[in-house]
Structures are given as C-alpha cells and as structure tokens.
Structure 1
C-alpha cells in the first residue's frame, strides 16, 4: 500500500495539476486530500463528466487525471472513445477494481465488471497497468513514469487500482458535515414514515445506504433494492409507473444519485406520470463511499424538478411536513418530488438486501408483486 499523500504528491511531481472523479472508497484518501485545496479536485456528477472535465483541462494545457470506479466505466465510454481517443487528448484515468480478483467476494453488481475491466481496455487498445495492494512507492513511480510516457505519445492510459492499494486520509472539511442538524430528519425515520404512508405501493430504492435502510425498516416483495446503477432509480420507477398507472410508484432516491443523472428529471416531467412520487433524501454527502460532499448545497432539487415539469415539488424538513407532502402526493396527480433534508447517518447499517435475496429472486418477487392487482393500501 502507498499513502494517499504519496499518491497525490507523486502525481503533482509528474505535472498533474487537476483531478476529477466520482466518489469511490478506494480513492477516499486522495479525494479528501485534494478537496482541501480549491481547484485541485472537481467532484463530477458522473464518470463521463469527470473524464470530459479532465480533457478540458488538458486542452487548456494542464495535465489532468480521473478517479472512477469500474462499475461506472460504462458512463465514460462515450467521451472516452468519441472525444479523448478520437482527438488524442492526454488524460490519465485511475479505475478501482471492484469485483476483482474474486467477484464472489464483492457485491453482486460488481460480478460482471470485475473480471472484464482489463479485457475491455485491451479491446479498446488502451495501455494500462495494475496497482496492487502490495505495491510500494517504487512500483507506483514506475507505473506513473510509464503512464506519462504513454500520454506524451498521445495515448489515454489507465491505472487499475486494487483494494487497499492506496491509503486513507482524514475527511476534508465539507459544507455538508458542518451544517447543523437542526431542521434535518434522521434518514431511517424518514424512510419509516414514507413506507407507512404509502402502504403496499411499490418502492424503488437507490443503491447504497438508502436501499439498506429501507431493507432494515421493512422488507417486502414490492420493494426493489437497486445494487449499483447509481442515478437510475427514478428512471426505473418511471418505467414501472407508466405501465402500472393504477397504483402509486415511489422512487426513494439520494441527492448524490439524483444529481448523477439529473436529466432523468426532465424525462419524468415530460412523460408526466400522474402516479410517480420521487422522494429524495438529501444529506449533502456521498455517504457510503466516505462522506464526500455532493453539490446539493448549491442545487435545490425541488426547484429543478419544478422547472423540469413535475406537477408539485417541495422540501419537507420535518415529520409533519413530510406526512403532509406524501399525503398530498398520493391524493393528487403528479409527478411529485419531495426533498427531505436528512442528517448524516450514524450507528450500524442494516445488511444489504442481496445478503438475503439473490438478485434474480428479488427480480422475480418484485415482478410478481407488480403483476397482481393494486391493493387497498396503494
């Protein structure tokens, strides 16, 4: 393992002045260190945006690098192949190796990308190296020397990073962590209240801690817990809502996930499903990957939703307002958005739903619940 400090310092010594990326626990240390100095790290909404931001910096004469997770590698394929590779823009990309070397030892959503990340880069003809957990500083210098040489030749090299290859660091001071708890609900309490109010209605929960809390509060066949696919919970709920207009459909989202694919709000507004209720738990951080700040502090999601065509969008900062907001959403045509300011989570988290329900079993029981008639509790 190399330290996060050495990782950042060595990249700076090689002339890299800007980094961009999305949260990943493997890169939590470097992200924390870089975030302490304004202008060194750009927290992108998604992987494609991170790569494109780095490419812009490179066009402006600054060496730049990207840190992403292999589960989101598909999000940057378009700008990688049609921009970076086509124009031969020199960008270095670090990709965490989730689901590798043992796919069974990681979460189910990493089983596909774990063993196929390196072969996929081979297919694209991209040079790449692997930084293993037992790598020392000399090995990292050697990799960077090779990667920068590839950049100088017009390539877009990748470094694949094994778990524990890069050390951690204390979290950078962030606006979300400095906010007072006043006016913010506990996320589990918010989920408990929402599930009580919506009865038997289907609930699609975003990946990470939100899905785990829903599983801990009330597991039922009409819950669909997304593993991975960050930012797509509302789109999945949209498809369900359009085909089951006879029942309310709840998208249980997080601020980071909603921001990752913000265009989904415009699609929902355009399709105008009267039965869709989009609940966003907004704690201002990417909590499951180390607590990096999101940009929800400068983006009022309820205002974005209203501008995108949601029939109603509101912020509910108390149990009373949340109860009123959900009741209104269930009794009037939507789509509706309810943003719930929540505190950072504390204490032990419930297990992942896939610890109990294999993905295929979860699919089947949810599909069965959707084929049945709407119950009186919907």
Structure 2
C-alpha cells in the first residue's frame, strides 16, 4: 500500500501541483490531504466538471490531474474526447476500479463498468496502467514516468487504481453539526407522512437509511446513477400525475446534476416533492466536503421555478413542510441541514433484494406497466 502522503508527495515532486475530482473511497486519503491546502484541490460537482477545471489549469500552465470513480467515467467522456483529446491538453487521470477484478465482490451498480473500464479506454486509444495493492512506491514511480512520457507525446494517460492501493487519512468534519438534525429521524418523519406515496431515494447512505427504517414496495432505492434521483422522480411524477412523489436526495448528489432543477421547474410537476438532506459531505466515500455550504439549494430551486421552497431546521418544520407539500400543488423543495452520519449503517437494499426485484415491485406498486421482461414482442 502507498500512503496518502507518499501518493501526494510523489505527484508534487514531479510537478503535479493542481488536482480536481469527485470523491471515491479509494482516493479518500489524498483528497483529504490536498483539501487542507488552499489551491491544491478543487472538489467538483461531477467528473466532467473536474476534468474541465483541471484542463483549464493545464491551459494556464499548471501540471494537473483528476481523481474519480470509474462509475462516473461516463460523465467524463464528452470533455475528454471533445476538449482534452481534441486540443491535446496535458492532463493525468486517476480512476478507481470498482467492480474489478471480480464484479461479484462489489456492489451491483459496478458490475458493468468494472470489466469494461480498461477496454473502453483502449477503444479510445488512451494509454493506461493498472496500479494494484501489491505494487509499492517504485512501481508507482515507474507508472508515473510512463504517464509523463504519454503526456509529452500529447496523449492523456489514465492510471487505474484497485482497492487498497492508497492509504487513508481522517477527513475533517464540517463545523456546526451540533445544531443540525439526525438524518435518520428526518427520514423516519417523512416516511410516516408519505403513507403510500412513491419515494425515490438517492444512492449511498440515503437509500440505505430508508431501507433500514421502512422498506416498502413503493420505495425505489438507487444503486449508483448519482445525481439523477430528482430526474427519476420527475419521470415518475409526470407518468403518474395522480400520485404524490417524494425524492430523497443528498446535497452532493443534487449538486452533481444541478441542471435537473431547471428541468423540473420548466415541467412544473404539481405532485413532486424534492427533499435534500444536506450534511455538507459525501458520506459514503469518506466524508469529503461538498460545496453546499456556498450554495443555497432552496434558492436555486426558487430561481428554477419550484412553487415552494423551504429550509427546515427542526422536525416540526419538516412535518409542516412535508404536510403542506402533500396537500398543495408543487413542485416543492425542502432542504434539511443534517449531521454527517456516524455509527453502523443499515445494509444496502441489494443485500436482500436484486435490482430487478426492486424495479419490479416498485412498478407494480405504483400501477405501472407490466414487467418488460415478461412482455413478448408484437408480431
């Protein structure tokens, strides 16, 4: 294992003095270290943005790199192919290899990207190397040397990092958590008010919390697809205008695809209630900070065209906001400051349910179409 300090120091020694990225637990240590030094790391809202930020710094003469999870590689492709590769911008990328080498050993949402990450990069003609847990500092240095040769040749290199390669470092928790609500109490309050309303829960700890508090067929637990809970909720709300639809989102996920707010505002789904649990961190990847402290999400929703928007600081305010939203036309936004989660978390829904069964029972519970896998094609 390479310590987080050695990982960052070796890159710094080679002149790489600017980084951006989206958190992954594999890179929790380096991100925590770099985040303590102003100007060294930019926490981006999504992977494409991270690449563009690093590309801008590279255009201005900084040696830059990005760190991200392979599940977010798709967000990276447009700026990678149309910006970095087209303009031959020298940029180094570190990508964690989730779902690899054995997809069955990871979460279901990584089963597709794990085995296809390296072949996909090869398809694009991009040089890449795998850094494995048994590789030490010398192997890391050899890979970085080869990556720098690729950069000088105008080809953006990728270093693919397996689990357990880089050491961890304790993240610094946000201040002022003692005045914030417990997310479990908030989720429990909302589920009691929701009765049979469909609930779409964002990926990570939010979905796990909902599953542990009250599992029911009208819950849809996202595995992966971070940032798209509100868009899924919009689709359900438009397809089922007679049902109130609740989205349980996280601040990091909401920020990742903030443009969804504008789409919701333009479509005006009167039955959509969008709840953001804002704890200021990416909980499930190591509590790296999000940018929600400088973004008033309820005000963004207001500007996007939501009918109501509130920031709730007490459970009484949460009850009032959700109760009012259930009885009035929306779309509604409710932002709830919560403490970062501590202690043991409930298991993922997929610990006892397959993704297909989650989808099937949800569709059946809200009166959707028959399971597509059981419908024969028209002749």
Unaligned runs of 5+ in 1: 374-378
Indicate the residue corresponding to 2:75 in structure 1: 75
Indicate the residue corresponding to 1:354 in structure 2: 350
Say if 2:88 is the partner of 1:88: yes
**Aligned partners of 2:367 and 2:320: how far apart in 1?**
30
Instruction: Note the alpha carbon deviations across 1:21-40, whole angstroms, 9 max, x for none.
Output: 00100000000110110000
Indicate the residue corresponding to 2:176 in structure 1: 179
Indicate the residue corresponding to 1:66 in structure 2: 66
Instruction: Note the alpha carbon deviations across 1:91-136, whole angstroms, 9 max, x for none.
Output: 0000000000000000000000000000000000000011001111
Computed over aligned residues only, the root mean square deviation of the Cα atoms, in angstroms, reads 1.0
**Aligned partners of 1:193 and 1:2: how far apart in 2?**
44
Instruction: Tell me if the contact between 2:177 and 2:338 (Cα under 8 Å) persists in the aligned partners.
Output: no
Deviation larger for 272-281 or 343-352: 343-352
Instruction: Go from structure 1 to structure 2 and tell me whether the alpha carbon gap of 1:351 and 1:37 turns closer, same or farther (over 3 Å shift).
Output: same
Map 1:211-290 → 2, pairs under 5 A: 211-290=207-286
**Aligned partners of 1:306 and 1:170: how far apart in 2?**
36
Instruction: Note the alpha carbon deviations across 1:37-58, whole angstroms, 9 max, x for none.
Output: 0000000000000000010011
Unaligned runs of 5+ in 2: 370-379
Three-state SS of the structure 2 residue aligned to 1:130 is: strand
**Aligned partners of 2:148 and 2:49: how far apart in 1?**
22
Indicate the residue corresponding to 2:101 in structure 1: 101
**Aligned partners of 2:109 and 2:147: how far apart in 1?**
29
Indicate the residue corresponding to 1:44 in structure 2: 44
Say if 2:147 is the partner of 1:151: no
Count residues with an aligned counterpart. 369
Structure-1-length-normalised TM-score: 0.97
2:312 to 290, 313, 316: 316
**Aligned partners of 1:292 and 1:343: how far apart in 2?**
14
Indicate the residue corresponding to 1:376 in structure 2: none
Structure-2-length-normalised TM-score: 0.96
Three-state SS of the structure 1 residue aligned to 2:115 is: helix
Instruction: Note the alpha carbon deviations across 1:289-331, whole angstroms, 9 max, x for none.
Output: 0001111110010000000000001001101100000011011
1:369 to 360, 365, 369: 365
Map 1:136-147 → 2, pairs under 5 A: 136-147=136-147
Query: What is the Cα deviation at residue 219 of structure 1?
Result: 0.2
